[in-house]
Amino acid sequence: MNQILVLEGSPREGNTSTVTDWVLAGMGRGNKVTRVKLCELNIHPCQECFTCMKTKGGAGCAQEDDMVELYDKMVDADLVLWTSPIFCWSVTGQTKMVLDRCFALLTGEDLLKGSKWALVLTAGGDAFDGADLAVAMFSRLSRFGGIKYLGQHVVAPCPDGAKLKKNLGLRAQAMAFGKELAKTLRA
């Protein structure tokens, strides 16, 4: 049974949650899925103290907030599925804050080396209104950290709310992405 950790970067139960539901449905049963709504956690931005670089054993971050538990979950997961809407040509602040804090796992002991990451994005604009930049950020950061980046599912432009929910074509595409992810995890 694969452990899937879903880091949900939207501040609402909206388009990205809907697409994420579909991707997870496409992955099928038999996975242990933990969905974490980042806006509900007490997480602070990286303070650039570099304690993590000087500390051996674990993440070594000086801040004792909800990232402590999230670090363990990320290291233990068979797949970390990041999900975010595009806000101002990037991921949401909630998502970026967690990404920055991952620096503590990427330095020193390379605790994310060999981890698998994938990405789900929704955007109001087209693929070049920021989703492209977010994809580049994740794939390059993954390369930097020795993380296996399994790819992304981008819905851009994404219909809003009920219109999205009724869109069977977008549902099928998201489920197909989930199915591919599951196949890659089994391989």
Binding site for ligand FMN (CB under 6 A): 10, 12, 14-16, 85-89, 122-125, 129-130, 158
Structure-token pair, residue 71: 């670090």
- Cβ atoms 174, 19 nearer than 8 A: yes
Report the DSSP pairing between strands 79-85 and 148-155.
Answer: unpaired
Instruction: Please identify, using beta-carbon distances, which residue of 20 and 142 lies nearer to ligand FMN.
Output: 20
| CB 129 to ligand FMN: min, Å | 4
In the complex, residue closest to ligand FMN by CB = 14
Distances (CA, A) of 93 to 43, 85, 87, 181: 11, 10, 8, 26
| CB 37 to ligand FMN: min, Å | 11
- Cβ atoms 104, 118 nearer than 8 A: no
- Residue 88 burial (CB count, 10 A): 9
Instruction: Please identify, using beta-carbon distances, which residue of 91 and 111 lies nearer to ligand FMN.
Output: 91
Instruction: Please identify, using beta-carbon distances, which residue of 10 and 63 lies nearer to ligand FMN.
Output: 10
Instruction: Please identify, using beta-carbon distances, which residue of 10 and 142 lies nearer to ligand FMN.
Output: 10
State the amino acid at position 87 in one-letter form.
F
CA distance 27 to 176: 8
Instruction: Please identify, using beta-carbon distances, which residue of 60 and 130 lies nearer to ligand FMN.
Output: 130
| CB 146 to ligand FMN: min, Å | 30
| CB 52 to ligand FMN: min, Å | 30
Structure-token pair, residue 22: 């579909």
Per DSSP, the three-state class of 151 is strand
| CB 105 to ligand FMN: min, Å | 26
